[in-house]
Chain A
């Protein structure tokens, strides 16, 4: 079955950092500076539509949802803990990239 796919609807998040996550944002800025290739994973997650709906050529409609935010795995109260959490963050968000960037 060939599916190629029409994006029917999407909503998009602007890449705006939350003001409630000062340490987390600091860690993300460090990532951007020190590891731009890995920061790209977070940037893609931010720019991916929240809902992607598409139709296969047998008229089946599929819908996929982006889950979580770029802060989801950054549960930290010290900058070193935030840096440590960045590895988990990139790992988990990259799973999402594996799925919805395929479409």
Chain B
């Protein structure tokens, strides 16, 4: 279905990712609201962030996938801010171990956003490709959407891998602070205080984001896996 120029809307967004990665998205384009994704979102992924960004009334409705991209970028900034405050948490905690535990536990939901917004964006592109190939091609081929997505994805992925390494060395950190560590499924108890390490929804969303169903979308975006 070809979209007439009359239905197009001017979308202008400035994407600040890092000081040397700042991009302007400035296009006349017609994009459906993210609520159109509701029937397509997997039942297992309808709690975390779903009500706000797929059902809710935000820029993800008025600006569709560009609103989702903006949220993905803003959650990257939330995660990066929190990540870089590690030393401040350790210094200002009740003791160093308590500060560390609070820091690592609090970052959990920000890190889950990396997978959640990838999945929402892939679902959106999948639906756009099925229903309006002209706009899909415009977005992928004629705008810097893919470049912006790829750069946010790269930066967030780097951060996520650092987070995974941090979780992987929890035993050494417990040793360093001379505290107990016991891990049991979704939680590790660091000096008897919980650190959320995973849950069923994150496991599922990770699988969905890298599933073969989105292979062509990821290829169009230049994402490798």
Contacts and interface: CB of A to CB of B under 8 A. Distances in A.
Contacts of A37: 18-19, 80
B16 A91 contact: no
A63 interface: no
B115 to A, nearest CB: 17
Interface centre among B24, B28, B88, B102 (most CB of A within 10 A): B88
Nearest to B98: A80
Interface stretch (B69-77, B170-178, B191-199): B69-77
Nearest to A86: B81
A80 to B, nearest CB: 6
Contacts of B59: 95
Interface string A7-51: 000000000000000000000001100110110110010000000
Interface in B69-96: 70, 73-75, 77-82, 84-85, 87-89, 92-93
B15 interface: yes
Contacts of A52: none
Contact of A34 (B18, B84, B93): B84
B5 to A, nearest CB: 10
A98 interface: yes
Contacts of B85: 30-31, 34-35, 83, 86
B10 A90 contact: no
Q: Chain B interface residue count: which class?
A: 20 to 34
Contacts, number: 84
Interface residues of A, number: 29
Dominant secondary structure at the A interface: helix
A80 B93 contact: yes
A88 to B, nearest CB: 7
A82 to B, nearest CB: 9
19 contacts: A1-B28, A30-B85, A34-B84, A35-B80, A37-B80, A38-B84, A40-B16, A44-B16, A80-B89, A80-B93, A86-B82, A87-B82, A92-B74, A95-B70, A98-B70, A99-B13, A102-B12, A102-B13, A102-B26
Interface of A: 1, 3, 30-31, 34-35, 37-38, 40-41, 44, 79-80, 83-84, 86-88, 90-92, 94-95, 97-99, 101-103
Given A83-B85, A90-B81, A102-B12, 20 more contacts: A30-B85, A34-B84, A34-B88, A37-B19, A38-B77, A40-B19, A41-B77, A83-B89, A83-B92, A84-B82, A86-B82, A86-B85, A88-B78, A90-B78, A94-B73, A95-B59, A95-B74, A98-B16, A102-B14, A103-B12
